[in-house]
Structure 1
Amino acid sequence: MNHIALPGGADPDLVRFPVDPRDRLRAWDASDEYLLRHLDETEAPLDGSVVVLGDRWGALTASLAAHTAHPPTQITDSYLAHRATELNLSRHGHTADAARLLSTRDLPPQRVDVLLVRVPKSLALLEDQLLRLAPAVHPGTVVIGTGMVTEIHTSTLQLFEAILGPTRTSLARRKARLIFCTPDQAVLAARPANPWPRRYQLPADAPLLAGRTVTNHAGIFSAERLDIGTRFLLEHLPVTQGAAHVLDLGCGNGILGLAAALANPAAELTFVDESFGAVASAEASFQDNTEGRKARFLVGDGASDLAPGSVDVILNNPPFHSYQASTDATAHRMFGGARRALRPGGELWVVGNRHLGYHVQLRRLFGNCRTVAGNPKFVILKAVKRG
């Protein structure tokens, strides 16, 4: 093959999405570079069906697009990863059809000859995706995983072993490691059933939702139990009247929006998250608990796809991790999008850890912020969009 250009080299720089000049986080790390270097040095065959699983910002897909006989297939749970991949493909001089972009909820390819896995933070998501891809894997499939040393555990290797076949790891390089798996037909045939999605019943003391059952696809936040921050906001959920438009922003499995819907049967509900699995979970939970009631379910970048001034109340429990990095950039972007989507007089309700200092950002964006409630760990804040 031609020499694969490594991230950060002579080719156009790779970027995250949305592009923010103030964001110092890179769109690639040492594990991406390690995998690409290995493929280049070993001249791995890339003439069959190549699948890239969990490519975080498109670094692997964009770097490989010029070296595969057919457009590689990227599978990710992240809407932002898809948009970053499109942007990075363009920056590398490729057209939109240079790669096939699938979500974790789409049907996977029927045959996989090369499977490259960027190990996700969520072991559940890795389990779900390996099980979904296993029918397309055959004994001749080249399977290579990559991740930082801190991301690859015994349990990670055990999943590859149980679903695909014998597995070993490389030596560490720049705190990154490769996983080599040899698919075995007996292991593939005897693989366990996929346990995802899972459902659990909310506790009897859950405000507004006692005993309700929620659906959780693999990899979403709080897929096993009710999150304590979400519970705290449920205890102080704002009261809406009539056909108020309520947005569950960064909805996860949709518990906040579901509670708002049950509290006000006339409310209009919209759920949005950048995770395909989260939106699928929220939609399933809503349909199971509202007897055919309608709502909108959007996969996207926060409130960016909503019409300005179209929302009355926004409920938000923002994430503060971007993979392994702690950052307030995601919350800041959510808050800015929320302000645009709110009508004059509309309210943004946020629950977050006390130490994150969201009140500072909200005062800067909205010109106001009030503490609704607090406990030793969490604080609930309300900001109002002025006319």
Structure 2
Amino acid sequence: MNVFSTPSGALELTRFPADPRESLRAWDAADDYLLRHLAETGTDLTGEVTVLGDRWGALVTALAAHRPAQITDSHLGQQATRANLRRNAPRAQDGVRMLTTRDDPPARIDVLLVRVPKSLALLEDQLHRLAPALHAGTVVVGTGMVTEIHTSTLKLFERIVGPTRTSLAVRKARLIFSTPDPSARHGANPWPLRYALPDGIGVLSGRTVTNHAGVFCADHLDIGTRFLLRHLPDRHGPDSVIDLGCGNGVVGTAVALANPGADVLFVDESHQAVASAEATFHDNAGPGAKARFLVGDAADVLTAVPPGGADLVLNNPPFHSHQSVTDTTARRMFHTAKDALRTGGELLVIGNRHLGYHVRLRRLFGNCEVLASDPKFVILRAVKS
């Protein structure tokens, strides 16, 4: 837990799930810069306030008294916001509206605060969705670290919202000021994006995949997934399969097509990812294919699949949390996989060779073998004994 000193008081904030072994903060200089700007300029927050992309709830918690709406793609970010509101603003938390990027946005926005996301595509999609709610008097302020704000970022604000300028950098953070132009033609929202998969990847060769904005490698099949698709196990029977961290769902869909008797659970903490996986599955799966879709943390898997109920878990764990490199998510995924698997059940993991997942898997499962490798990636197999 760390203390964030804001104009509205000191806040005790944590990420979610809180990990005492890590010292990563739930806020940064970009959050601080934005809140201090609002206070110093006396920005009127009595109208409808919307906060887009607040990572761990620092902005929403600081502004809870103004009853903002939070829009986020991240289940973990939303859970962090709820926990931070309970801790710091218990009386105001019921007034905060918790929305996801898949929900209908507010009909009117008087103040729009944007924490610039890593994904330019997600920013484009969300600005398109929010533009109809803006009016000539809407205050639009974005914030991010200087490494996150590029010329392309400013061009998006300029094209979709209106005239845009930036602040000076303070503690390596920068603000974006955009003036809505209701008469401007914003163009059509290009998301979601659909494209045909390449040949040579098994049962999904030439089939269509759907990517909603913000999903990793939105316009092409990433090389790690392509490598995994070529080495999926040949299974037949009523297997219970978990695609853990499913992204656009191509891996789980490939398993379902190759094994029509399988019951596949697609899980991701990104609302955009799960929506992509659902579209990809339904566009390609046959009439007998069975699947479920869950937006949640790794620990939420055990609410959908009882402990010891899974035959196979497929996992491509992320190793970034925004700007930080961390194996926290991978560790949680591996532990969840072990709990979910039956005795003799298998976990298949693909990762960059340098991450050394084999060490952690061998320690956790007591075994780990390399199924395939190339100069960049390795596919590991661990069996629950």
Give your verdict on TM over 0.5: yes
User: Is the 1:249–1:303 Cα contact (8 Å) retained in structure 2?
Assistant: no
Give 3-state SS (helix, strand or coil) of 1:117's partner. Answer: strand
Deviation digits for residues 148-169 of structure 1, max 9, x if unmatched?
0000000000000000100000
Q: 2:167 aligns with which of 163, 167, 170?
A: 170
Give the AA of the match of 1:302: A
Q: How does 1:316-335 map to 2 (within 5 A)?
A: 316-335=315-334
Residue aligning to 1:244: 239
Residue 304 of structure 1 and its aligned partner are, at CA, apart by 2.8
Residue aligning to 2:16: 17
Q: How does 1:173-322 map to 2 (within 5 A)?
A: 173-187=170-184, 190-292=185-287, 293-306=289-302, 307-322=306-321
In 2, the alpha carbon distance for the partners of 1:9 and 1:20 equals 26
Unaligned runs of 5+ in 2: none
In 2, the alpha carbon distance for the partners of 1:368 and 1:8 equals 52
In 2, the alpha carbon distance for the partners of 1:373 and 1:204 equals 20
In 1, the alpha carbon distance for the partners of 2:73 and 2:342 equals 31
Cα separation, partners in 2 of 1:8 and 1:211, compared to 1, 3 Å: farther
Cα separation, partners in 2 of 1:131 and 1:380, compared to 1, 3 Å: same
In 1, the alpha carbon distance for the partners of 2:7 and 2:345 equals 44
Structure 1 stretch displaced more, 120-129 or 356-365: 356-365
Deviation digits for residues 239-281 of structure 1, max 9, x if unmatched?
2221100110000000110010011010111000000000000
Residue aligning to 1:87: 83
Residue 210 of structure 1 and its aligned partner are, at CA, apart by 0.7
TM-score (norm 1): 0.95
User: Is the 2:7–2:39 Cα contact (8 Å) retained in structure 1?
Assistant: no
Residue aligning to 2:27: 28
Residue 174 of structure 1 and its aligned partner are, at CA, apart by 0.1
Cα separation, partners in 2 of 1:7 and 1:295, compared to 1, 3 Å: farther
Matched, 1:138 2:138: no
Residue aligning to 1:75: 71
In 1, the alpha carbon distance for the partners of 2:148 and 2:89 equals 32
Give 3-state SS (helix, strand or coil) of 2:124's partner. Answer: helix
Residue aligning to 1:38: 37
User: Is the 2:11–2:62 Cα contact (8 Å) retained in structure 1?
Assistant: no
Deviation digits for residues 223-243 of structure 1, max 9, x if unmatched?
111111111111110222211
Residue 11 of structure 1 and its aligned partner are, at CA, apart by 2.7
In 2, the alpha carbon distance for the partners of 1:376 and 1:305 equals 32
Residue 10 of structure 1 and its aligned partner are, at CA, apart by 6.0
Residue 206 of structure 1 and its aligned partner are, at CA, apart by 2.1
Give 3-state SS (helix, strand or coil) of 1:143's partner. Answer: strand
Deviation digits for residues 179-221 of structure 1, max 9, x if unmatched?
000111222xx11100000101001222221110010000001
Unaligned runs of 5+ in 1: none
Give 3-state SS (helix, strand or coil) of 1:6's partner. Answer: strand
